[in-house]
Structure 1
Amino acid sequence: MKYLFFSWLTVFVGSWIVYVEYSSYTELCRGHDCKNSICDKYRKGVIDGSACSSLCKKETLYLGKCFTAKPNSQVYSGSWGDLEGVIKCQMEEAPHYDLGSEMEPRKEAVAFNKPTKGTSVEKFREMILNHLKAKVGDQANLADLATQVLSITDANKDGHISLPEARSTWALLQLNEFLLALVLQDREHTPKLLGFCGDLYVMEKVPYSPLYGISLPWIIEVWIPAGLRRSMDQWFTPSWPHKAKISIGLLELVEDVFHGTFGSFLMCDVSATSFGYNDRHDLKVMDARYIVPEAIFQENIRQKHCDVDEDCLYGADCLTSCDLTKHRCTPEVTRPNLAKGCEALKDYILRGAPSDVKEELEKQLYACIALKGSVEQMEIEHSLILNNLKTLLWKKISHTKDS
């Protein structure tokens, strides 16, 4: 009787776990609905793009494994002919980060109704310029970025921008991740844009992600102590010289997004899951939703009501202080991107570090983590620490094939 009871209990618990996992999967992973929605608009002539024909007519663009974390932002592995990529689709709703209210994505229906019929290419270019200016501030070379956007818009490269192509590009420009991919497209730290259709887009596949750590079933995860979990994450990492090169990539990314060619960006979720790397151990940004333009961040967070500093948090890492006289958040983040990057790298790069550099590396990392206030207030110290860290790591691996 006892064995029968335990057998029944095992079957019951197993069935419940399978049911919960299946329900969670079907609720999150709606790639079929995403494809149908996009292709319906393509066939009606509402949208167009370089991936539309392959997705909807030739069916040579396939959605593979689901990596979706939120129902409104679908993420899949994919294959497109001989190419492997990551397919992202917004399920009719683009995440618009309203920093002035709940610091959470606010959903807005994407109607693909802009630009309107009769809009000239010059007028569309003006729309793009004004949008970019609102996102990243009034930068001197935004015209160059607008030109890049227009070149991507002409998906079939016929020298003519159609209204469906323009509507697809306009929808994509509302997404922080797509905007960052444009801004950093000449750098090695963001995956390349392979194609798009409406607000569905295909990015280059990053072979290794997250930056470190292993994924475990939740039923096992809950029983593992936090300290042991951190140690386990460190077991599954590349050799130290490779980790050094990946770490240099993250430091270079910090340089690229701060006072870059097209304005400054804030890194508001600097965690291992946000990054990966390729076969050459070049760092790649996996999830750029929380790398946000500093100008739009500051503009919106000023409007947020607060009672304590913790009310002024966006993402996991962008915290400002609360002005108790006005009960509004101040615009300056308390920690610069570099300090957050160093904190993410500390355990990763110190584990297995050669003895002749470990002490100095640890010293530099802790000085980096201790950075406070805006970068403008400490630009010399910020640059010094950044350069010291890069030099220390490069010096150790420059004579090896890993460099």
Structure 2
Amino acid sequence: MWRSLRGALRCLGVKVCRRSALLVILLWLASWLFLNGLVFVHRNMFSDFCTDHKSKEILQRVCAEYQQGVLTGDLCEDLCVAGRVEYKRCLYYENGKKVMAASWRGVPIVLKSKLENFSSYEALTLLEYQDAAGGAGGEEELSPLDVVFYATLEIKNSLGLETGANLTLPRLWGQKLKENERTYSRAELASLWALLQQEEYTFLRVLQDLTHHVAKILGSCGHFYAVEYLAAGHAWDQYIFSLDELMLSSSPNPWSGQEKIINARDMVPRVALSFLEMVEHFENDFSHSLHLCDIKPENFAIRKDLTVVAIDVDMAFFEPKMRDILEQNCTSDNDCNFFDCISKCDKAKNRCGPKRKNSNLQVICEKIFRPWFSPTLLGAKAGLPLQVALQRAVQECAEIDGGEDAQRTRAVREQLKDLLVELSQEDTGHQGEGQEHKMRRVHTALHF
């Protein structure tokens, strides 16, 4: 009997041990998964957490690579040696993009890069070929024509455009190169190539000489480029743009001490006129229409002369690339919405149409103008005949399909323009001021 009892206890002990071992293994596995999950969440949630400490570390690495001869640019000497670039604060990190505020020789600027590290950008194939040739006992020099050829391919890939014969390296890159220099250093080529892989840099660099409605690039160091600091819009501000921030921007002040300083309410019709000018310019003055697919206050800014400027153009596309983006598989019209750019679903083919259904003007009327000229914001003036006519015009503008009736769209735009000019005259009390607010067309074309 005792033997049977000992056997039973031994069997029970084995079962308990096995269960305990299994529980320990399961507990260890659950702990491992939990800890790895925490690490994953931490990396994803806090890798884009904007801090001054991390921003300064990033710039220190840029300067270290500049000292090593890995990268260069017309901003590097002042940033890394002379101390003429003063870091101010971190603005935001988003999906790897780093954006910081600084001042360059006393002028406010914004430093940007799509990726944090210079090494994260794809290396220029020409440099790898040059290394192979050098290793084989030969030395291949790169002419500007070689670089322009590769730059042309990159621009075509990022913007969906062809480039013309007037494309030159200094135009793409702000580096002050000697006119008689026929070759470029490895650091110059690598830095240029890292910049060209950033769609926003390429977009701004190509367009800034052709329109005053995009932010100006002032310089670069490696993969970071500096743009002018402007008064950006805020969704929570009823007037979108702050006059206090406007005075801090780096753009020149067109008003002298003898002239009237405008208030926020006076500013609205003038800025609205500049929005209309920007829309007309983007639609008609380039070889392809430019589509803005993320229209919100934060993506625009104003200079001190109240010119509207597109400052975040990651979601701006010329017509050829816009068509490629829109033409996707679909089962309903909802599948054909690409942020603020939408098209229709052809249910017979289950494909979205390549032509955009709405327009830049329609979205701006809906998201910018309608809140501006609402009865809530206008207050006691909301019932005045001019204000009522303006509200109706804005409502019609927000509801029109830009791709269906071009003539009607032009008529609505002209009506808005006339009403805004009249409102601007009424608010300022200067009858002759309307001429100053007529649309300023820049008669240059972007022929790629």
Q: Do Structure 1 and Structure 2 share a fold, with TM-score over 0.5?
A: yes
Alpha-carbon deviation of 1:213? 2.5
Partners of 1:392 and 1:307 lie apart in 2 by: 42
Partners of 1:152 and 1:268 lie apart in 2 by: 25
Tell me what 1:99 maps to: none
Partners of 1:85 and 1:169 lie apart in 2 by: 20
Partners of 2:123 and 2:194 lie apart in 1 by: 7
Alpha-carbon deviation of 1:252? 1.4
Q: For structure 1, list consecutive stretches of 5 or more residues without a partner in the other structure.
A: 1-19, 95-107, 215-231
Q: Does 1:283 align with 2:308?
A: yes
Alpha-carbon deviation of 1:123? 2.0
Tell me what 1:67 maps to: 91
Alpha-carbon deviation of 1:93? 7.0
Partners of 1:191 and 1:236 lie apart in 2 by: 18
Q: For structure 2, list consecutive stretches of 5 or more residues without a partner in the other structure.
A: 1-41, 131-140, 244-262, 438-448
Aligned AA (1:204): E
Alpha-carbon deviation of 1:172? 2.2
Structure of greater relative contact order (alpha carbons < 8 Å, 6+ residues apart):
1
Partners of 1:34 and 1:119 lie apart in 2 by: 30
Tell me what 1:329 maps to: 352
The size of the alignment, in residue pairs, is 344
Partners of 2:325 and 2:161 lie apart in 1 by: 17
Partners of 1:92 and 1:69 lie apart in 2 by: 10
Partners of 1:356 and 1:176 lie apart in 2 by: 45
Identity of aligned residues (%): 22
Alpha-carbon deviation of 1:196? 0.8
Tell me what 2:188 maps to: 165
Note if contact 1:46-1:112 (Cα within 8 Å) is conserved in structure 2.
Answer: no
Tell me what 1:191 maps to: 215
Would the alpha carbon gap of residues 339 and 381 (structure 1) be closer, same or farther in structure 2, given more than 3 Å must change? same
Note if contact 1:47-1:112 (Cα within 8 Å) is conserved in structure 2.
Answer: no
Q: RMSD in angstroms over aligned alpha carbons?
A: 3.2
Would the alpha carbon gap of residues 115 and 35 (structure 1) be closer, same or farther in structure 2, given more than 3 Å must change? farther
Alignment of 1:41-190 (within 5 A): 41-92=65-116, 109-116=120-127, 117=130, 118-136=141-159, 142-144=164-166, 146-147=167-168, 149-153=169-173, 155-159=175-179, 160=181, 161-186=184-209, 187-190=211-214
Residues 364-392 of structure 1 deviation map (CA, whole Å, 9 limit, x = unaligned): 21221122152xx5332222222222232
Q: Does 1:358 align with 2:380?
A: no
Would the alpha carbon gap of residues 381 and 209 (structure 1) be closer, same or farther in structure 2, given more than 3 Å must change? same
Tell me what 2:15 maps to: none
Aligned AA (1:158): K
- Out of 296, 301, 310, the position equivalent to 1:271 is 296
Alpha-carbon deviation of 1:339? 0.4
- Out of 280, 289, 295, the position equivalent to 1:255 is 280
TM-score, normalised via structure 2 length: 0.67
Would the alpha carbon gap of residues 392 and 183 (structure 1) be closer, same or farther in structure 2, given more than 3 Å must change? farther
Alpha-carbon deviation of 1:68? 0.9
Tell me what 2:249 maps to: none
Alpha-carbon deviation of 1:362? 1.6
TM-score, normalised via structure 1 length: 0.74
SS at match of 2:94: coil
Note if contact 1:336-1:372 (Cα within 8 Å) is conserved in structure 2.
Answer: yes
Alpha-carbon deviation of 1:26? 7.3
Residues 263-312 of structure 1 deviation map (CA, whole Å, 9 limit, x = unaligned): 3221111111111223332222232211122212322443x443333333
